[in-house]
Structure 1
Amino acid sequence: VLLLIPAKDNYAAMLAVGFLLGLGGTTFAIGIPLVNSWFPPAKRGLALGIFGMGMGGVALSGYFTPRIAEHDVNLPFWIVAGALLVYSLLAAVLITDHPDRKVPEDSLGHRLGQAGRLRVTWELSALYAIGFGGIVAFGVYLPTYLKTWYEMSPTEAGTKAAGFALVTVVFRPVGGWLSDRIHPALVTAAALLLAALMAVVQAFDPPLDPLGTIALLAMAAGLGTASGSVFALVSQVTPQAAVGSVTGIVGAMGGLGGFVPPLVMGAIYSAKSSYSIGFMLLSDLALAGAVYAYGRMRTLRRDG
């Protein structure tokens, strides 16, 4: 993180530092099988949902970083560096593998290759790209949308976008909790259907108070719930030995899925001066995910 301070004025250096930060982000893929190993199957959904609440850092960052930077442009980097240092020390002392964990003997490339050959890896990746990708996309683009379409100030737009992100964080463990009681594919289908319906509502450009706010927050609830249920689904339909590798691929695809919608919505707005087409495309995508989760994923069983 501290490398960002000298790199912030150099794009190539910024990309290199981003790569290093991305390596740190792989702790999410590490944490999924770790959490799985410590909890019985009936409680894994909720446990994974609570673990996934760590994405709330996006909301906190979006809200606090501009305000902290007003005091010193480098201060946010120092704060994050300190937080990472404290966490790394606590993790080294408190986090341990399950005593019965089997250490894989084959290479990383071989394990990733095996995971990549599983059809379920890419099915889960697509669903997570819709759910978590939608969260990432709105985290990036919602402030711009609110400023452009509803003529909000940057501070007000950032605050409301942070509220959207907070709702997704709260509903992620809800998705996991429901997945402990209902098949996670059914939870995913229902959550994506809710997101699809709310995207249709928002496509008609309703007034923000109250209908637009309700639609956006309900969409956040649906996307957050789907993000939690998809990883509960991973633990159910993925061979146990491949959970870690599959999680890594699925998580990466979710992150990548978040970068496409802002580009599409921005391009559509530039061409048509409207966001309605973008929201309708989001609705179509979420509806397709809901149908696929219900029609295909609820019938899958773990093989191995």
Structure 2
Amino acid sequence: MESKGKSYLALTMGTLAMMVCFMVWLCLSPLLDVILKNAGVQVSEFQRTFLLATPILLGSIMRIPMGIVSDRWGGKKTYIALMIFLIIPVLMMPRVHSYGMLIFTALLLGMAGTSFAIGVSYVTGFFPPEKQGLVLGIVAVGNIGTAFSVFFLPRLIKVMSLNGIFYLLVALLVLFTLLMLICPESKPNKDSTLGKSLSVAKEKDTWFLALFYFLTFGLFMSWSNLLPTFMSGLYSQSLVDAGIWAAVFAVIGTLLRPVGGYISDKVRPMTLLKYDFIGLIVVAIVLGIFLQSQGVFSTMIVLMGILVGVGNGIIFKMVPFVSSGNTGAVTGFVGAMGGLGGYFPPIVLGIIKQSTGGYSIGLYLIAVVAIICLVLLQKEYITGAHKIVK
């Protein structure tokens, strides 16, 4: 075990570095109209939502290998390498002038999403097992970087050029790269391999948790990403006002995650998750029915933020019980699937909007996925003989 000072420094910097990376990961959402105008590109609704979803793709599928690199090489070195790499697409974004290059650059930006796996791998090594739950809750606060993007960037674009915004992001990446140099390095684990990490896919419970997290974290990521587009398109709100709602959603979803984990220590997690899924089903249906009412929409978005935040915490409470001694691998696998859950909704909603002229069917599909999760949860863990925790 490291000294308390080194442990707390690693926890603080690992969390703050994740915040910066998550700012980069979702920087397209609040700036998309400005970026498209700057590039001189006209896009369809599908192309627009596909571009928004693209960073989520690489940030999700690369979580497992980047977690392994962090385990084997050391989290500090991996964080530094990631932030240096991210400078490249950040500098590219305001300089590209075709849709194809926007997609390519957005894909590279997606590497920022792997900071979650790196941060968890880096920080947890400094604390004993009995503190891992609290530490994971604190590290997850790094997700609040999504709220910083959607809240601050629309305001900054009013007083800065697009180049200036991305130079600011570069400055943050450089600053935290330098700050990471003074942090202690985590102890490398040379036994960490891709084969071992993917071996947890043999466990049925891993897939159930992955599906559940696909729903809850996927909704957190996709709505953090889509809300500026929804609020400005449906209700003609300014980017600044739309960004406030996106930030509120992201903050609620982030801060209530540890609450979900804490409550799960007191009440059986699967019972909590049952009511969480029921709540998501109701919210999605109400959103679909009353989509034209801004008041109802705003209320439901707050409720959804609460439900996905608590749900994320509940699900990660279950992770250590799935594959004893291989918690990191399960975390990486489930986390990657959750990230992919944030990739598909924007694309599906874009297709539906382009085909039908509205989003309602897409919202009902969210309810369908939640119903599937609820049925499987009930069958496997509540009425069934199989249990993860008692």
Fold in common (TM above 0.5): yes
Partner of 2:147: 59
1:215-234 → structure 2 map (5 Å cutoff): 215-234=300-319
CA RMSD of aligned residues (A): 2.9
Partner of 1:184: 269
**CA apart distance, 1:276:** 2.0
Residues 44/190 of structure 1: CA separation in 2 closer, same or farther (3 Å cut):
farther
Partner of 2:136: 48
Conserved 8 A contact 1:127-1:230? yes
Equivalent residue in structure 1 for 2:172, among 83, 97, 103 = 83
Conserved 8 A contact 1:137-1:258? yes
Partner of 1:105: 191
**CA apart distance, 1:17:** 5.8
Query: Any idea what the Cα deviations from partners look like across 1:107-154, whole Å, max 9, x if unmatched?
Result: x23213312333232222211110111111112222222233223233
Conserved 8 A contact 1:192-1:289? yes
**CA apart distance, 1:49:** 2.6
Residues 177/67 of structure 1: CA separation in 2 closer, same or farther (3 Å cut):
same
Query: Any idea what the Cα deviations from partners look like across 1:190-242, whole Å, max 9, x if unmatched?
Result: 222212211111111166454332211101110111112222211232222x2
**CA apart distance, 1:282:** 0.7
CA distance in 1, matches of 2:199, 2:172: 36
CA distance in 2, matches of 1:182, 1:35: 27
Partner of 1:126: 211
CA distance in 2, matches of 1:33, 1:2: 23
**CA apart distance, 1:57:** 0.6
Partner of 2:340: 256
Conserved 8 A contact 2:87-2:173? no
CA distance in 2, matches of 1:271, 1:14: 24
Per the normalisation by structure 1, the TM-score is 0.83
Query: Any idea what the Cα deviations from partners look like across 1:152-203, whole Å, max 9, x if unmatched?
Result: 2333222222222221112111112112222333333322221221111111
Moved more, 26-35 or 160-169: 26-35
The 3-state SS of whatever aligns with 1:60 is helix
Aligned pairs, number: 296
Partner of 2:230: 145
Equivalent residue in structure 1 for 2:282, among 197, 200, 208 = 197
Query: Any idea what the Cα deviations from partners look like across 1:62-104, whole Å, max 9, x if unmatched?
Result: 222233244132333333333334434544544564xxx8935
Conserved 8 A contact 1:121-1:246? yes
Conserved 8 A contact 1:36-1:235? no
CA distance in 2, matches of 1:46, 1:297: 25
Conserved 8 A contact 1:30-1:244? no
**CA apart distance, 1:25:** 3.6
Unaligned runs of 5+ in 2: 1-85
Unaligned runs of 5+ in 1: none
The 3-state SS of whatever aligns with 2:267 is coil
Residues 216/187 of structure 1: CA separation in 2 closer, same or farther (3 Å cut):
same
Per the normalisation by structure 2, the TM-score is 0.66
Partner of 2:116: 28
Moved more, 203-212 or 160-169: 203-212
What letter matches 1:146 in structure 2? M
CA distance in 1, matches of 2:368, 2:216: 13
The 3-state SS of whatever aligns with 1:152 is coil
What letter matches 2:347 in structure 1? L
The 3-state SS of whatever aligns with 1:296 is helix
